[in-house]
Structure 1
Amino acid sequence: MEENSITYTHTNTYTTLNDVTSQTKNVWVALHGMGYLSKYFIKYFKALDTKENYIIAPQAPSKYYQDKRFKYIGASWLTRENIETEKENLFAYLDAMWSKELEKIGNQEVRFIFMGYSQGVSILTRWMAHRALSCDYLLLHSGAIPQELEATHFNYLPQSTTVTYLYGDEDEYITEARKTEQQLKGSALFGERLNVQVFKGKHEVHVPFINEISTKLM
């Protein structure tokens, strides 16, 4: 048996909320977790000021049915299978999406807020590291930082970049050992820029913190 590979053109979607105007202050790039579709994930940002916040939610390419009735559809970014090739596929998709969105923003001065939630944390940090993407605020929400990433991958980030690792105190996926591991990993990568925030709740998007970031950056 021999496994072969081919290269082909693939089309994928992504979702945006609000418009880029002269009043736009914050541009968010928010990567959802496993099981989400971007069109539903982006609803967590609906409470933000519509004139000052523009949200971009990329869509994980691998869709699947989540229930036996084939009613609910979710998506996944990556698995262990053929991971290096799949990472490059994701980077190519995210690059194309980002290039298109940057054309809308042009030379306008805005604050870039990058957020990864759950599985989106690993994809976001890998993409940033491989493409040296800068942002003003990096939110790592309830997910794991990949082990292969090192501090040298983020040397390009300005010292002014704020990095927050956020998780719920009852998150069923984050054990005490994982908390320690991720805090040590985050500190190794981002140094004094890292701050850890814990909220009361489970493995869920913490909307109040999203709203708080928007308000603080205005």
Structure 2
Amino acid sequence: MTAQEHHLPVVRTARYYQLGELSTATRRVWVVAHGYGQLAAYFVRHFAPLVDADPTLVVLAPEGLSRFYLQGTGGRVGATWMTREDRLVEINDYVAYLNQLLAVVLPQAAPEVTVTVLGFSQGAATVSRWLTQARFRPVQLVLWAGAFPPDMDFAVAAHLLRELPVTLVCGTEDEYVTEEALEQQRSFFRRVGVEPTIRRFVGKHTLNAAVLAELNEAEIAFRR
């Protein structure tokens, strides 16, 4: 007899980290999604200088719902947004999670609050899939050392990206993103009518403080 697969929705407690005080004075929110094997508590630290310089900015760092030991059965722990196993259900779960997070946060901010979405590595595909079903529209999308999902429905992608500023960021020595892959991403966005901004820095598969500061300044300028 062959076993039948079933799914049962359950209540799950998600974890996220926040930099800055959320209030009606909050005019900007950044949602930043970590990469594979990272934890939000460490990832969010990269954004602390931005919040220290602007009390109207709040940074939210949600954490992937699945955690695991990075090596063996003990030691350091990381998180992941999904794997190939039961992937569509995991995607639906994190989309619902991120939508619920923003539904809680945004009403507490100023009515004119703007949202920047940044995904690093695996988090780039995560936020891209999420935004196709999100209940708000960001002012900019930053895909850092990661890609817009190649399996995304073209029409859905075109609708999401229409008139949305997109920035692709990648280190010159990134171990996972080749020059060819970066050019393929540029070509994809051009096919849906978007000319992405490309930002490079000398470095590997990591965030970069100077580029983060530049992205922050660009968004502040956009608000003006």
Q: What's the TM-score, normalizing by structure 2? A: 0.88
TM-fit CA distance, 1:158 = 6.0
SS, match of residue 58 in structure 2: strand
Identity of aligned residues (%): 29
Q: SS in structure 2 opposite 1:155?
A: helix
Asked if the contact 1:134/1:157 (under 8 Å) is kept, the reply is no
> What is the Cα deviation at residue 55 of structure 1?
0.3
Partner of 1:185: 188
**C-alpha spacing 1:132/1:180, structure 2 compared with 1 (3 Å):** farther
| Equivalent residue for 2:157, pick from 153, 158, 162 | 153
1:140, distance to aligned residue in structure 2 (A): 0.7
The letter for the 1-side match of 2:140 is Y
1:138-217 aligned within 5 A: 138-149=141-152, 150-155=154-159, 159=163, 161-192=164-195, 194-217=196-219
State the 1:217 CA deviation. 2.8
The equivalent of 1:9 in structure 2 is 11
Pick closer, same or farther for the CA change 1:153–1:216 going to 2, 3 Å. closer
Aligned length: 215
SS in 1 for 2:204: coil
Equivalent positions of 1:83-162 (< 5 A) are: 83-105=87-109, 107=111, 109-131=112-134, 133-149=136-152, 150-155=154-159, 159=163, 161-162=164-165
Q: Deviations over 1:10-43 (max 9, x none)?
A: 1111111111245433210101111111111110
Kindly indicate whether residue 105 of structure 2 is the aligned counterpart of residue 67 of structure 1. no
Aligned partners of 1:132, 1:177: CA distance in 2, in Å? 34
Deviation at 1:68, TM superposition (A): 3.8
Displacement after TM superposition at 1:130 (Å): 2.6
Query: Which amino acid is the alignment partner of residue 15 of structure 1?
Result: Y
Code of the aligned partner of 2:89: T
Shift of 1:182: 1.6
Question: Normalising by the residue count of structure 1, what TM-score does the alignment of the two structures yield?
Answer: 0.90
What's the C-alpha RMSD, in Å, of the aligned pairs? 1.9
Task: Name the structure 2 match of 1:25.
Answer: 27
Q: Is this contact kept in 1: 2:161–2:192, CA < 8 A? A: no
Amino acid at match of 2:44: I
Q: Secondary structure at the match of 2:49?
A: coil
User: Deviations 1:143-175 (Å, cap 9, x if unpaired)?
Assistant: 02111222543425562x321011011101012
Which runs of 5 or more structure 1 residues have no equivalent in the other structure?
Answer: none
How many angstroms apart in 1 are the aligned matches of 2:24 and 2:135?
27
Worse-superposed segment, 76-85 or 118-127: 76-85
In structure 2, what residue type is equivalent to 1:206? N
Shift of 1:4: 2.8
1:57 paired with 2:61, answer yes
Instruction: Work out the CA distance in 2 between the residues paired with 1:138 and 1:34.
Output: 19
Moved over 4 A (4+): none
Deviation at 1:89, TM superposition (A): 1.0
For the residue of structure 2 that corresponds to 1:33, the secondary structure is coil
- Report the alpha carbon displacement of residue 102 of structure 1 after superposing the two structures with TM: 1.4
d(CA) in 1 for partners of 2:193 and 2:118?
Answer: 15
Distance 1:17 1:154, change over 3 A: farther
Structure 2 gap segments, 5+ residues each: none
